[in-house]
Chains A and B, each alone.
Chain A
Amino acid sequence: MKRPLDTFDEVTRLTDDEILALVATQSHRFQRQIRLRDWRELIAGGIAAVMIAPALLRGSPLARVGALIILAGIGLVAFKLFAARRLTIPGVDPALPVANALHVELDRVDAQISLLSGVAWWYVTPLLGGSVLLAAGTRGLAGWPYTIGYAVFAAVLGWGIIVLNHRAVQRTLQPRRKEILALLAQIES
């Protein structure tokens, strides 16, 4: 169908070199984003492990239990994020038939919803719970006001993390899920 040129046609008319430069830039950005996220998490986990290692080796029994729970928690978080990443990166294969791609994306969104909805047990409880035990074991009975203060802080922080994740589910993931279901209904109607 012949139609007049519009502004879009003008601004996107690119030379071969410009097209190759564009996809190269986008590929680079995509790879860098993945690398940065991996490194950031690896470094954060490493620092946390190094910080609690002395307590694990030389701390009181309670501090050792706390440190062990945190270490196990770091392992669990790493496993959950790795499993989730397998679903989210590199994303849905865009060469799938549209209906199949939507089903795959729906599975992905459901997995993300399940991950964020369960953040209390796989993230908050082991990491913050372990850190409270570690604090109590390190300070001993004499430091109970500090331990109670820290426990309250940890509870508020944990509650904040849970609320933020639930909000992300409600505001972002549930609407996306609804849209995908609507598209699948359009396809099947």
Chain B
Amino acid sequence: MGPSLPTKHEQKFLTLVRENDGRLRHICRVYARDVEARKDLYQDMMFQLWRSLPSFAGASSIDTWVYRVALNTALTHTRRRSVRVETRLEDEHLETADLGAPLDAADETLELGEQSERLYAAIDRLGDVDRMLVTMYLDDRSYREMAEVIGISESHVGVKLHRIKKSLARVLAEEPV
């Protein structure tokens, strides 16, 4: 007997996961330290999305809803497993997307990787709530959406982001170790 076709709920869930995959991975990257912890968090997020999807009533946009579920799961997960160690720099090796590319392209990719790593290392020094805001800011979310996800006012989001940007600029201005 061959595999059965996905049900309507399964189809909806798979579409949701595919459309938000990059977002979920980004949150895992910000909230969990090593590959194993990220994998656990990613799976935990998928389970929470699966469980919560039937109760999504459309009161907020689907993006806001996904962010709420993913960030709440990340916070709970982080507390439960203590996957993160403050200010410890990432030590896993990067695997570049195309190792057979010409040297210039490889250099560019590596440089991009280094910049990305420095940014992640800087984000890692922020508090859990500030990291939420940065995550959404890097995803071009509006202040209103951020406010809806976290449950604070838009003006409060503005004040916080201003403070975070200053803090990140200070960390990024430091010489890389």
- Which residues from chain A sit less than 8 Å from chain B, CB to CB? 1-12, 16-17, 19-20, 22-23, 26-27, 30, 90, 92-102, 105, 176, 179, 183, 186-188
Q: How many residues of B contact A (CB 8 A)?
A: 53
Pairwise interchain contact B75-A98, C-beta atoms closer than 8 A: yes
- Which residues from chain B sit less than 8 Å from chain A, CB to CB? 3, 6, 10, 13-14, 17, 25, 28-29, 35, 38-39, 42-43, 46-48, 50-52, 55-56, 65, 68-69, 71-73, 75-76, 79, 92-97, 109-110, 112-113, 116, 127-130, 132, 138, 148-152
**A94-B75 Cα distance, complex, nearest whole Å:** 10
Given contacts A8-B28, A8-B38, contact A97 B68 (CB under 8 A): yes
Residues of B within 8 A of A102 (CB): 75
Pairwise interchain contact A23-B50, C-beta atoms closer than 8 A: yes
Pairwise interchain contact A92-B72, C-beta atoms closer than 8 A: yes
Other-chain residue from A4, A176, A188 in contact with B97 (beta carbon distance below 8 A): A4
Further 12 A-B residue pairs, CB within 8 A, beyond A92-B76, A93-B52: A1-B138, A4-B113, A6-B92, A8-B28, A8-B42, A16-B6, A20-B6, A23-B13, A92-B72, A95-B56, A97-B149, A101-B72
Given contacts A6-B92, A7-B92, A179-B79, contact A22 B113 (CB under 8 A): no
Q: State how many angstroms separate the Cβ of A103 from the closest Cβ of chain B.
A: 9
Q: State how many angstroms separate the Cβ of A64 from the closest Cβ of chain B.
A: 47
Pairwise interchain contact A4-B69, C-beta atoms closer than 8 A: no
